[in-house]
Structure 1
Amino acid sequence: METMISLMIAGNNQFMIEMLLEVFENYYDIDVVGVAKSNLKIVDLAMKLKPHIILLDTIEPGIREINILKEFNKIKKDNRPLFIVLSEDGNNEKIKNIIALGVKEYLIKPLGTDVLVTKIRQVFIEYYYFKRSKLFRNPDIIQEVNSITSELLYNIGILPHLFGYKYIKEAISYMVNNQGEYKPLNKVLYPLIAEEFGTTSDRVERSIRNAIKSAWKKNRNFDKSIVKESGILEMFDKKPTNSQFIVALFDLVKSNIDNTNFKK
């Protein structure tokens, strides 16, 4: 079951709130759990709803982000929501002060909804999985995951000179760290991998697809080794999709690591 990102919107611009609510209705993984329109309501509602992230729109009077953030900083860190600020104010000094209070992203309006959604997903995954996860704090586990993934890719003909090679390895690292929960690659993993390597989601997707295609042409039987160990016999009657291949590879990598390493 995939984790929903619980989001609370804070702001008193009704038009902006309605627009954001309409936008988020189109995304399966973002659940708007509440809307707060004043400083006091933001704190009280957040304590009640416990959202993962608060999206704070600071354009209107009555929403004083500095006061709000200072109030939340009194709360134990593990119990605080994360903050993303939307603002038309690009003053560097103000941005510096806001970030110093723990804001994860300060986004200048106007911006595209795709950019906003990507930032929300990135903030959520980076904090709730990477920073709270124990798995990749152990360098031995990082090395083991990379080593196993590299060997499996080599055995099926996906070699380091292919762009898709490094993107597949990165995808496996994300999935191991997330215990396989984030399988919709185009919605979550591709944007994160693209940002990591300074490229685009489309190029990540295309490079992975080309790497799989290249290996498939070289060795039409490469899928049998994956199918045999992962128990998904029907999956690769034909060339697998990116998602099919990466999920199967993830299962193989995970099966090669001591299960205790995957416990949080």
Structure 2
Amino acid sequence: MENESIKVLIGDNSAANGVKAAAKLRENGIIAYTRKMDGQVIYDSILKDKPDVIITALTMQETDSIALMNRIRDKLVNVPAFIIVSDIRNSFIERQVMENGASYFLSAPFDLDTLPSIVKSVCNKPITSNCTDTEIMVTDIIQKLGVPAHIKGYHYLRTAIISAINNCQLMESVTKQLYPCVAQKYATTSSRVERAIRHAIEIAWDRGNTEAITKFFGYYVDSYRGRPTNSEFIALVTDKIRLKLKMSRI
């Protein structure tokens, strides 16, 4: 899948927010268009235009995001991914939104530069065998392995793998080089990055796609070897993608 095949509907046509978000996505090769922040308007556009990702507010005219997601699930077989934006920072609300089908809960205001990466991370489209977009390839692999997209460890892990692919020297010292590199991008600490990545891998190992994990890692997940360490997980995914990128250039 190429970037431009990702289609995003933004439920906000204001110049201050929606238009700027659409422009940022287009800069990154993603199709993006805005619609009025009205539940019925967005619903009709989803059915007509078949976007891959919906970015909309927690509440909107005529309805709210949970009701909208439920309507779409009742109508469509292939349901798009929903990114719900809210200026209300409340863990209960976030949990309700995620449990009702959202792929990502985004607190406003947010850094527009992070939006293309978030969109790619939640997009449900499978990649094509000849895809050479590193970010999309990494996203596809960790999603197939069962790492949930809404936890911090998912984004830290994804960034760590992409960083290691782009700079192989980072893997020489994961603790002293790779974790600090990721931590700097998210304005957090190396120890928090390490813990969040470990938690993400544990979730994938315990609740993920056993068949996909077995095929990818080459041994059964319930074998004596147990789950891989952070370093092992990142190194294996990094090596596989590097090999695929190398083969694509031959």
Give me the TM-score of the superposition, normalised by structure 2: 0.56
What CA distance in whole angstroms lies between the structure 2 residues aligned with 1:208 and 1:184?
A: 21
- The CA deviation string for residues 169-225 of structure 1, in whole angstroms up to 9 with x for no partner, is xxxxxxxx64122x132x5346777743672633431117999xxxxxxxxxxxxxx
Match of 2:147 in 1: none
Match of 1:184 in 2: 133
| Letter matched to residue 113 of structure 2 | D
8 Å CA contact retained: 1:83, 1:103: yes
Give me the TM-score of the superposition, normalised by structure 1: 0.53
Q: What's the offset of the Cα at 1:249? A: 2.9
Identity of aligned residues (%): 15
| Letter matched to residue 2 of structure 2 | E
What CA distance in whole angstroms lies between the structure 2 residues aligned with 1:198 and 1:39?
A: 34
What CA distance in whole angstroms lies between the structure 2 residues aligned with 1:245 and 1:106?
A: 34
Structure 2, unpaired ranges of 5+: 143-154, 173-240
Larger Rg computed on CA atoms: 1
Match of 1:98 in 2: 97
- SS for the counterpart of 2:84 is strand
Match of 2:165 in 1: 204
Match of 2:51 in 1: 51
| Letter matched to residue 51 of structure 1 | P
- SS for the counterpart of 1:86 is strand
What CA distance in whole angstroms lies between the structure 2 residues aligned with 1:198 and 1:5?
A: 20
Structure 1, unpaired ranges of 5+: 130-176, 212-242, 253-264
Match of 1:64 in 2: 64
Matches within 5 A, 1:124-139: 124=123, 127-129=124-126
Q: CA RMSD in A?
A: 3.4
What CA distance in whole angstroms lies between the structure 2 residues aligned with 1:66 and 1:57?
A: 10
Q: What's the offset of the Cα at 1:99? A: 1.0
| Letter matched to residue 168 of structure 2 | S
- SS for the counterpart of 1:128 is coil
Equivalenced residues, count:
168
Q: CA distance change for structure 1 residues 59 and 44 in 2, over 3 Å: closer, same or farther?
A: closer
What CA distance in whole angstroms lies between the structure 1 residues aligned with 2:81 and 2:35?
A: 15
What CA distance in whole angstroms lies between the structure 1 residues aligned with 2:137 and 2:122?
A: 13
| Letter matched to residue 26 of structure 1 | E
Match of 2:16 in 1: 15
